[in-house]
Amino acid sequence: MQRYKKGVRTADHGLEQIFSAYNSTRETEFVQAFFSTEEINSILESCGLETLQNPEPILERPVKIGVNTTKRADLVFENEDQAYYFEVMSQSGAGRWDDDHHQQMLLKTKKLELEYGSDLVYTFAVAFKEFDPIYLDDIQKMDNCYAVHLRFNEHGYFADVYGIEEKSRKTAIKLQTVSEVAQRWLDLAAEHFPNRKNTPRSNRYLDIGKGIQGNKGIEWVISSRGNRIGIKLHGHLYNQYECKSDEILKHIQEQTGILLTSKGTHDQTFWHDMNLEDLSAHNKDQMIQITRAFAEYFDLSFYLE
């Protein structure tokens, strides 16, 4: 390998130039123009997190505080039972993270955690300058919170994420725990169904039964918190199979006596609350019944045989 030559220092572009490139004059316009699937996944990768297929971001998502106060989260999207929240710095202070945005980020994160669960919300504090140490100290103490210095220069954009080594280590441990639980449930399912894979996909997705289109079909989803398990069709199949959540929930309850809950609109998952560490005969039988009723609703029972 050859020795490195002296490099050329490349200066970051200023906020005015960045906003101009996205035809934006204020923060909300920039958020809407910049954050497509590619940019979202680029930041997730920089944070050591798994990328997502076709996230559906909500801009200026209302976050209600108390009786008469409603805050706005710059960008929020869901993935199964998890929420991803981006708070983006405005033009004030030339894009450097400040007290006001820090306070807003902490408040909205806490409220979203009350809604989704304390370990199911990922927060991204996005600034265009380096963070002051006092802010980094808070963010490093929050396992699912990331300080993202979003930089732009003549080569493109990239995200510098502070303290990523420690964050990645904690994330890996959590995912390993989820994956181990998922494997036990997949082994259980294999006793009853001809599964498409014998290992979990992305740590928490279990491919149940035969493939309907290639390797796509019915899936079980393991909650990150270990307190519920979901069932769904692979996302692309919802374009071909009509999904009326109320009818599905009613059908499953009529067939099994089990009441599930659902969340999402496009890529729906139907959840059953249970302790996933408990692989008792009762819990196993419930998931088998739910899966057969779910397949029956879509006329897909053949793929479980």
HEC states along the chain?
A: CCCCCCCCCCCCCCHHHHHHHCCCCCHHHHHHHHCCHHHHHHHHHHCCCCCCCCCCCEEEEEEEECCCEEEEEEEEEEECCEEEEEEECCCHHHHCCCHHHHHHHHHHHHHHHHHHCCCCEEEEEEECCCCCHHHHHHHHCCCCEEEEEEEEECCEEEEEECCHHHHHHHHHHHHHHHHHHHHHHHHHHHCCCCCCCCCCECCCEEEEEEEEECCEEEEEEECCCCCEEEEEECHHHHHCCCCCHHHHHHHHHHHHCCCCEEECCCCCEEEEECCCCCCCHHHHHHHHHHHHHHHHHCCCHHHHC
Pick the closest to residue 164 from 44, 85, 46 (CA basis): 46
Nearest-angstrom CA–CA distance, 3 and 32:
43
267: left (phi over 0), alpha (psi -120 to 50) or beta: beta
Least confident of 184-193, 212-221, 270-279: 212-221
pLDDT at 174: 75
User: 175-304 maps to which CATH number?
Assistant: 3.90.1150
pLDDT at 243: 74
Higher pLDDT residue, 213 or 222? Answer: 222
Q: Looking at the predicted structure, is the pLDDT value of residue 298 above 70?
A: yes
CB 157 within 8 Å of CB 150: yes
Q: Give the residue extent of every domain in the chain.
A: 15-162, 175-304
Q: Does domain 15-162 have CATH number 3.40.1350.10?
A: yes
pLDDT at 149: 97
Percent of the chain topping pLDDT 70: 96
Q: Looking at the predicted structure, is the pLDDT value of residue 223 above 90?
A: no
Give the mean pLDDT of 65-83. 93
Mean residue pLDDT of the chain comes to: 90
Q: pTM here?
A: 0.80
Q: Is 157 exposed, middle or buried (0-12, 13-18, 19+ CB in 10 A)?
A: middle
Q: How far is CA 114 from the centre of its chain?
A: 16
Give the mean pLDDT of 13-34. 94
Angle subtended at Cα 54 by Cα 240 and Cα 118, rounded to the nearest 5 degrees? 115
CB 126 within 8 Å of CB 89: yes
Nearest-angstrom CA–CA distance, 242 and 249:
14
Tens-digit pLDDT profile for residues 229-285: 999 887 667 667 777 888 999 999 999 999 999 876 566 889 999 999 899 999 999
